[in-house]
Amino acid sequence: MIAKAGEGDAAATREYDEHRLAEVSKSGGGEHRPSMGQDMVKGRRTEIEFLNGLITRKGDEVGIPTPANRALVDIVKRVEKGELKADPKHILDLRLN
């Protein structure tokens, strides 16, 4: 399933997304919550500026647009400020738009 999703199979991508969302929705957050996701759920500051923020800044320096990284930084910062509730839906919405 993961390989097919990586190759662009839309049905496999949907199936994989559903599986991942089911995992993180389990009691205790599932088994595969990344540390940044844990930080967001617990209301801690993340390292988003040092990771994806760096990508956007370097992209600006060399003239390469980084819209997905820029949007991700915006979402995480809004969660950190309390403007958005931490929710995997924000990432799915990002990918689907």
Residue, of 66 and 29, whose pLDDT is higher: 66
With the C-alpha atoms ordered 48, 86, 77, 5, is the resulting torsion angle positive or negative? Answer: positive
Per-residue pLDDT for 96 more than 60? no
Instruction: Tell me the pLDDT of the chain averaged across its residues.
Output: 83
pTM above 0.85, yes or no: no
Terminal-residue alpha carbon distance, the chain: 23
